[in-house]
Amino acid sequence: MPVSTTPQTNIYETTIEDEALEEELELRQQLREKASNARALFKEADEKAKSRIATLDLGAGAPVRVGRFVLTRKMRPARSVSFETEAKVTTKITTIEDD
> pLDDT by residue (tens digit) across 63-86?
888 899 998 888 889 999 999 999
Asked if residue 59 lies in contact with residue 73, where contact means CB atoms within 8 angstroms, the answer is yes
pLDDT, greater one: 52 or 4: 52
The pLDDT tens digits for 32-54 are: 999 999 999 999 999 999 999 88
